[in-house]
Amino acid sequence: MDTLNLSWLLIAIPLASAGVLLVLGRRVDRWGHWLGVLASAASAAGAIAMLVELLGRGAADRSVGVHLFRWIPAGDLNVDAGLLVDPLSLTFVLLITFVGTLIHIYAVAYMEHDTDRRRFFAYLNLFVAAMLVLVLADSYALLFLGWEGVGLASYLLIGFWNYRSDYAVAAKKAFVMNRVGDMGMLVAMMALFATFGSVNYETVFAAAEGTNQGVLTLVGLMLLVGACGKSAQFPLQAWLGDAMAGPTPVSALIHAATMVTAGVYLIVRSGPIFEGAPTAQLVVVIIGAITLLFGAIIGCAKDDLKKALAASTMSQIGYMILAAGLGPIGYAFAIFHLVTHGFFKAGMFLGAGSVMHGMGEEVDMRRFGGLRRYMKVTYATFAFGWLAILGVPPFSGFWSKDKIIEAAFVGEGWRPLVFGSVALLGAGITAFYMSRLFFMTFHGEKRWNDGHSSTPDTAIARTPVQHPHESPRLMTVPMIVLAVGSVALGGLLSIGGVFTSWLEPVTGVVGDHEPVLPVWLLMTLTLAVVVVGLVLAWRQYAASSVPVIALAGSVLTRAARKDLYQDEVNDGLLVQPGQYLTRSLVYGDRQVIDGAVGGLGRVMVRLGDVTRRLQTGYVRSYAATMTIGLVALVAVVLATRI
Amino acid sequence: MSLVNYLVLSGILFSIGAVTVLVRRNAIVAFMGVELMLNAANLTFVTFARMHGELQGQVIAFFVMVVAATEVVIGLAIIVSIFRTRGSASIDDVNLLKS
């Protein structure tokens, strides 16, 4: 009996809290949000206790299965609900509960004026519970339960302000696109069960080696489809930008730090399957590379602060997926980047929320500018997150992103050159769009109406007067904590390769691999493209003035503003043909099936109309019929007799 | 005198009765036609009874008379009541059940 056997409490506490908040309803409005914070904090405390317990063991004993109960006993199919506590899942648990708790605290202040704050916290707790199920599960079946749970929580939270119909539509869009990914997950699970007779990690991974490569490729690709849906990777990426309709703490927790990284977790966790399927691995890397550039390009053109951050999230997860596709050499770095990204991106989202809070819910960056003098804490914390995502040493992102770029350059043939160059190019674009975002918001001249300047620009004068102010302590403290993480976490976890060796029991021991280009050259190149991106952004968005109304822009800019026409493509390729199909089915149903049935009825009615005329209602005519019939009958009988 | 003559007479009477039922509209006249047909049948029964020297035919003729009598009683009652309510004894006017 040790602390690990109580690991189910981590899930149960937030779940119970969500239940209490939802069932008791308005009665707990006064203190409900604090219950939510407490539940999340309790899980975080439990996670730390588990970390202490695991650190006290040898590296080989750090993977512990906790059997909970027999979940689906059905003949040959026997699914047990069990938890797997190992360095990988515990890393996620720590990230989810720690960042989650900070965001809970932030949300207490952020949602203060919302009458439904209690419901918001119920959903957040539900999300935390579901996400913990996802990462702690010891089988694909239980993982799928958490997978669907986070999808539900994400749907509820994106559509939290569902009185605005476009927000409700955004929620539905996210839900439907995730269902496409879920189909992939289901197919993968069915294939696993058909091949191995089990969906338990232990059984599957033990049997994976030596299994037919075709099966593993199928499973790998289907898992990738699931990962693409959840992690907003190409081609299922279109929902993430619209998901910013949710309150900002949701964007920070679910659509930046945790849920959207579930795809990376899935691929790293399913490592043994992917290692047996090089084709699937290659596809993973390609998807990661495409998304990386896709998100980065969109990020360069977005004027909506949150949507630009969402594009950046997509791009950064592209990095992680790329690393995860590289195999054991990339697993640890994918997870490492995921953790540091969880901190700095959540921090920046909270900063964005703070800016919106101070600017009357404005999100258009063209109407910000010069805010650094008004929101000093937000400015400083955002700056650390910005430096971290740029990969400037010694901030967190440097330690994780550079490693991914290095890993992308390892290999033979064309792959390292192509994928490495994409990763390198992505770093440059990232530097440009993040700097653009940062400068447009905090630097440059004011592009908002401060009420007493006689600005000649009428476009500004017409907007409501803004009184930018720093956010309350409850909001700034979580931002400061996350900023500290953005600064120091990467460096601290890199000392002596602490993080990679901590993950080694799961990701496997990797020998030294030399990139095709020397490491010092790669580092210099990375820093060089980052500086180029930064300087370009400075010249365009800080040193010169930014127009309040966006210019028409080039073809690429217009395409990027429209998310590279992702919605149009989906609409043209899937939605329209689907609608035509259903319409033609409806037409066929009406014309052919209804026509046949209705036509038969009409024929009968006509026939009845004709025969009805024989029934005159005159007794005499009936009697005549009878008589004639009788005479005819007698005549026939007589004729045959004679 | 051959018994065949009786059968011919019976056939003539039956035909007259049948034509009366088919042609006349007045319910009472039609009824009389029915009676004529019944009696034609009776005549046939009796004739055959004589031909075979048996009694069954004659007995059946009595039964037919009884049935005809009851029929007349009930039929006339119905015709009278229809005449009272509708002011007509024509069988073509009785068409309440026709849609």
Mean pLDDT of all residues in A376-402: 89
- Among residues A33, A82, A62, A107, the alpha carbon closest in space to that of A478 is found at A107
Tell which wins on pLDDT, A636 or A254. A636
- Among residues A467, A442, A331, the alpha carbon closest in space to that of A377 is found at A442
At A274-285, the pLDDT tens digits run: 988 889 999 999
In A56-116, which ranges are continuous DSSP H helix?
A: 87-110
- Residue B1 is predicted with a pLDDT of 63
What's the rounded Cα separation, in Å, for the pair A50 and B97? Answer: 90
> Interhelix angle for A305-325 vs A396-408, to 10°?
50
Question: Dihedral through CA A425, CA A431, CA A432, CA A434, nearest 10?
Answer: 130
CA distance to partner chain B, nearest, from residue A618 (Å): 6
- Among residues A408, A379, A604, the alpha carbon closest in space to that of A471 is found at A379
CA distance to partner chain B, nearest, from residue A616 (Å): 9
What's the rounded Cα separation, in Å, for the pair A622 and A635? Answer: 20
- Asked whether the beta carbons of A23 and A70 are under 8 A apart, the reply is no
What type of residue is A175?
F
Tell which wins on pLDDT, A132 or A563. A132
Categorise residue A271: left if φ over 0, alpha if ψ from -120 to 50, beta otherwise.
Answer: alpha
| Res. B68: pLDDT tops 60 | yes
Chain B hits for A624, CB-CB cut-off 8 Å, are: 22
Q: Is B7 on the interface with A (CB under 8 A)?
A: no
Name the residue ranges covered by the structural domains of chain A: 1-206+232-261, 277-561, 588-641
Residue A584's Cβ-side half-sphere holds a number of Cα atoms within 13 Å equal to 5
- Asked whether the beta carbons of A551 and A459 are under 8 A apart, the reply is no
- Residue A1 is predicted with a pLDDT of 43
Chain A hits for B18, CB-CB cut-off 8 Å, are: 627
CB contact under 8 A, B22 and A618: no
What's the rounded Cα separation, in Å, for the pair A176 and A172? Answer: 6
What's the rounded Cα separation, in Å, for the pair A553 and A550? Answer: 8
**CA nearest B91 in A: which residue?**
A619
Q: Is A627 on the interface with B (CB under 8 A)?
A: yes
Residue A445's Cβ-side half-sphere holds a number of Cα atoms within 13 Å equal to 12
- Among residues A313, A193, A306, A298, the alpha carbon closest in space to that of A257 is found at A313
Q: Is B96 on the interface with A (CB under 8 A)?
A: no
What type of residue is A310?
A
- Least confident window among A77-86, A105-114, B51-60: A77-86
- Environment class of A462 (CB within 10 Å of its CB; exposed 0-12, middle 13-18, buried 19+): exposed
- Among residues A156, A102, A130, the alpha carbon closest in space to that of A11 is found at A130
Tell which wins on pLDDT, A13 or A508. A13
**CA nearest A624 in B: which residue?**
B22
Chain B hits for A617, CB-CB cut-off 8 Å, are: 95, 97-98
- Residue A457 is predicted with a pLDDT of 64
Task: Count how many residues are written for chain B.
Answer: 99
What's the rounded Cα separation, in Å, for the pair A187 and A180? Answer: 11
**CA nearest A627 in B: which residue?**
B18
Chain A hits for B97, CB-CB cut-off 8 Å, are: 617
CA distance to partner chain B, nearest, from residue A572 (Å): 59
Chain A hits for B75, CB-CB cut-off 8 Å, are: none
- Residue A509 is predicted with a pLDDT of 78
Task: Count how many residues are written for chain A.
Answer: 642
Extract the tokens encoding B28. Answer: 């009472």
Distance from CA of residue A410 to its chain's centroid? 29
Q: Which residue has the tokens 């419901």?
A: A119
Q: Report the DSSP pairing between strands A77-85 and A64-74.
A: antiparallel
- Residue B77 is predicted with a pLDDT of 94
- Environment class of A291 (CB within 10 Å of its CB; exposed 0-12, middle 13-18, buried 19+): buried
Chain A hits for B98, CB-CB cut-off 8 Å, are: 617
Mean pLDDT of all residues in A191-220: 88
> Interhelix angle for A262-269 vs A140-158, to 10°?
170
Mean pLDDT of all residues in A174-185: 91
- Residue A497 is predicted with a pLDDT of 81
Q: What is the DSSP string of A302-355?
A: --BHHHHHHHHHHHHHHHHHHHHHT-HHHHHHHHHHHHHHHHHHHHHHHHHHHH
Q: Is B89 on the interface with A (CB under 8 A)?
A: no
Residue environment code for A51-68, b if the CB has 16+ CB neighbours within 10 A, otherwise e: bebbeeeeeeebbbebee
Give the best residue of A615, A618, A625 to mutate against chain B (max B CB count within 10 A): A618
| Res. A529: pLDDT tops 50 | yes
What's the rounded Cα separation, in Å, for the pair A205 and A196? Answer: 10
Q: What is the DSSP string of B40-80?
A: HHHHHHHHHHHHHT-SHHHHHHHHHHHHHHHHHHHHHHHHH
| Res. A28: pLDDT tops 50 | yes
Q: What percent of chain A has pLDDT above 70?
A: 98
- Asked whether the beta carbons of A268 and A194 are under 8 A apart, the reply is no
In this predicted complex, what is the ipTM? Answer: 0.78
DSSP A541: I
Q: Which residue has the tokens 């309709």?
A: A245
Question: Residue A80: in which H helix or E strand, if any?
Answer: strand A77-85
Give me the domains of chain B, ranges plus CATH numbers.
Answer: 4-90 (1.10.287.3510)
What's the rounded Cα separation, in Å, for the pair A323 and A338? Answer: 11
What type of residue is A233?
Q
Check the CA dihedral A83-A86-A92-A94 and report its sign. Answer: positive
* Cβ atoms within 10 Å of B78's Cβ, excluding its own: 12
Q: How many beta-carbon contacts under 8 Å exist across A and B?
A: 20
